[in-house]
Amino acid sequence: MASSQVTLGNKLSMATQAFSLVAMLIAITLAWGRMDTRMTVVEGKVERHENQLAQLTTQGGLTAAALATLAGKIEVQNATLSQLTTAVNKFDDKVERLRPPLAQP
C-alpha cells in the first residue's frame, strides 16, 4: 500500500525533476539562440570576405590588363627612342664629316 501512495517527498522529487527539465530546456534554447546568432554573424563575415575577394580579383584582372597595355606603350616608346637615337647619331656623323679639319699651327 505504501508503494501506491503519493507522498509529499515524491511530489517534491517530481517537482524538482520537472523544474530541472524545464531549466535544461531553457538553457538549451538560449544556447541554441546564441549559436544561431554567432552563425549568422559568421555567415555575414564570410559573405563580405567573398565579395572583397571577388572585387580584388576583378581589380587584379583590370590591373594586369592595364599593366600589359602600359608595357606595350613603353615598348613602342623605347623603339621610337632607339630610332631617334640612331637618327641623331647619323646626323652627328654627317656633321663631323662636313666639318673642316682643324688648322694645324
Summarised one tens digit per residue, pLDDT across range 9-29 is 888 889 999 999 999 999 999
pLDDT digits 0-9 by tens, 24-55: 999 999 999 999 999 999 999 999 999 999 99
Inform me whether the pLDDT recorded for 6 exceeds 80.
no
**How high is the mean pLDDT of the chain?**
89
For the full predicted model, state whether its pTM sits above 0.75: no
pLDDT of residue 105: 56
Q: How many angstroms from the chain centroid is the CA of residue 73?
A: 30
C-alpha–C-alpha distance, residues 22 and 83, integer Å: 90
CA-to-CA dists, residue 61 to 65, 66, 67, angstroms = 6, 9, 10
Q: Kindly give the residue spans of alpha helices, DSSP state H, lying in 1-105.
A: 8-98
